Amino acid sequence: MTTLTDPPKESFRLSMLINDTRYRSLTFQAIAAVALALAIWYLGNNLIQNLRAAGLNISYSFLGDPAGYDINQRLVEYDSQSSHARAALVGVLNTILVAFLACVTATIFGVIAGVLRLSNNWIVSKLMAIYVEIFRNIPVLIWIIIIFTIMTAVMPGPREFRGDNATSSMVLDLFAFTNRGVYIPMPFFENGLFGNATLNWILVLLVAAGAWYAVRMNNARAANVQAETGVRPKTIWVNLAIWLVPFVALMFIMGLAWEVPELKGFNFKGGIKVGGPLIALWFALSIYTGAFIAENVRAGIQAVSKGQTEAASALGLRPRRVMNLVILPQALRVIIPPLISQYLNITKNSSLAIAVGYADITATLGGITLNQTGRAIECVLLLMLFYLTASLLISMAMNVYNASVKLKER
């Protein structure tokens, strides 16, 4: 009688690292990793030797020295006697601020323009095409300078708000639009629950996060009821109560008040100043990148089969509802991947802020601090680390969202 047995296992040989397909890819990857490590070691060692020969060394102790310069637009307390590290922090926050604002407004401009480019109205579609072709084919730096120049030339100066013969006045006695920027009321708490204003705002953000989660849970409950009974209960009043009741109660307890800007001397004091350089950079990045996003949106919409539109229309849905409920949710799978690149471009293009005097991280750490201390290598390395970290975080967040909207196979 014949018995079947497994073939004897072949013993491992060094030649299998190249000849055997099970190990070949790992071998090449290991060789590439070693070559990369050697190249990095060679370049780093060469840098250290050259610095040593020039009597220099890499040190970040300069970050603790007084900066010696002022920054107009800032989100945290800062003066000329603050350290270079503090100045770099102000630059980081300014970069994050303009990048966040530009990403939001560019998305709004892009979605609107992308949808209207496919409008059946010939005039509307052509106007959107003109917008896309003009703004995306002219460098963003030129748009930044144009908008900043127009703003400083057209808007009135603070002196024009003074006296009985003033040629300009505040809007609703709350907002002042000047060639130096826009001044708006600033909210603050008279009876904050914490001594630190930052902690009070963190509490507000926590309440907002809790309300957002409660609204999501309420919508999920309504979806479950709809799946079981076929009838979706109304959630609008419950969601409004979840948002409004905690906020109204919290604002009443903490005593929300507003600091209104007032003209004192040669400028406005109080409130929040949104400087002209910030507005110019924000608006230029928004309309420039919005033109690219519009093309991404148009491509995503056209990637959805026309049968989806026809089926939704056959069910009696109006065109606006078809776009919101059927087309755009499916188009997101095509829109989001290139949208990530546009968000990264906004973050990196914000480094052009130095052209209009906006103190972002490139202007503070990579500009004034670098020139004052002469620590070019240290400053450039920190700049690279910041932009690399910011880009990776944006990519990670958007990839998580992209995974949540991708097509789920059964």
CATH of the domain at 350: 1.10.3720.10
pLDDT at 261: 79
Which uninterrupted H or E stretch holds 380?
helix 376-405
Residue 6: pLDDT band with limits 50, 70, 90: low
- CB atoms inside a 10 Å sphere around CB 76: 10
Average pLDDT, stretch 41-51? 84
Q: What distance in Å separates the CA atoms of residue 184 and residue 267, rounded to the nearest whole number?
A: 14
* Helix, strand, coil percent values for the chain (each to nearest 5): 70, 5, 25
Q: What distance in Å separates the CA atoms of residue 174 and residue 260, rounded to the nearest whole number?
A: 6
pTM for this prediction: 0.78
Spatial CA neighbour of 391 closest among 350, 334, 335: 350
**In terms of C-beta density within 10 A (0-12 exposed, 13-18 middle, 19 or more buried), how is residue 247 classed?**
middle
Q: Among 150-159, 162-171, 311-320, name the one with the lowest average pLDDT.
A: 162-171
pLDDT at 237: 82
pLDDT at 163: 61
pLDDT surpasses 80 at 339: yes
Spatial CA neighbour of 261 closest among 274, 278, 279: 274
Calculate the CA dihedral of residues 195, 196, 198, 202 and round it to 10 degrees: -40
Q: Within a 13 Å sphere around the CA of 14, how many CA atoms are in the beta-carbon half?
A: 0
Q: What distance in Å separates the CA atoms of residue 156 and residue 224, rounded to the nearest whole number?
A: 57
- More confident: 246 or 164: 246
Residue 165: pLDDT band with limits 50, 70, 90: low
Q: DSSP states of 297-337 as a string?
A: HHHHHHHS-HHHHHHHHHTT--HHHHIIIIIHHHHHHHHHH
Residue 90 lies in a domain: yes
Beta bridge partners of 181: 178, 275
Angle between helices 276-303 and 84-116 in degrees, nearest 10: 40
For 368, the domain range is 84-152+273-405
- More confident: 51 or 281: 281
Residue 317: pLDDT band with limits 50, 70, 90: confident
Residue 359: pLDDT band with limits 50, 70, 90: confident
pLDDT at 333: 83
Spatial CA neighbour of 99 closest among 389, 401, 300, 338: 389
Pair of tokens at residue 374:
């002469």
Q: Within a 13 Å sphere around the CA of 195, how many CA atoms are in the beta-carbon half?
A: 0
**In terms of C-beta density within 10 A (0-12 exposed, 13-18 middle, 19 or more buried), how is residue 207 classed?**
middle
pLDDT 10s digits, 17-33: 676 777 777 888 888 99
Q: What distance in Å separates the CA atoms of residue 164 and residue 78, rounded to the nearest whole number?
A: 36
Query: 85 Cβ partners below 8 Å, 6+ apart?
Result: 63, 64
Q: DSSP states of 4-53 as a string?
A: --PPPPPPP-TTHHHH-HHHHHHHHHHHHHHHHHHHHHHHHHHHHHHHHH
| Chain Cα centroid distance, residue 39 | 34
pLDDT at 409: 58
pLDDT 10s digits, 270-310: 777 788 888 889 999 999 999 999 988 888 888 887 787 77
pLDDT 10s digits, 139-162: 889 989 888 888 888 877 777 776
- More confident: 390 or 250: 390
Residue 376 lies in a domain: yes
pLDDT 10s digits, 101-125: 999 999 999 988 888 888 888 888 8
Average pLDDT, stretch 45-57? 79
**What DSSP state is assigned to residue 255?**
T
- CB atoms inside a 10 Å sphere around CB 204: 17
pLDDT at 170: 65
Average pLDDT, stretch 2-22? 64
Percent of the residues in the chain that have a pLDDT greater than 90, as a whole number: 10
Residue 35: pLDDT band with limits 50, 70, 90: very high
- More confident: 88 or 198: 88
Residue 79 lies in a domain: no
pLDDT surpasses 70 at 69: yes
Residue 307 lies in a domain: yes
Average pLDDT, stretch 383-391? 90
pLDDT, mean over the chain: 82
Residue 258 lies in a domain: no
pLDDT at 38: 93
Domains identified in the chain, total number: 1
pLDDT at 167: 60
Average pLDDT, stretch 2-11? 59
pLDDT 10s digits, 228-268: 787 777 788 888 888 888 888 887 887 777 778 777 777 77
Q: Among 89-98, 182-191, 335-344, name the one with the lowest average pLDDT.
A: 182-191
pLDDT at 393: 92
Residue 342 lies in a domain: yes
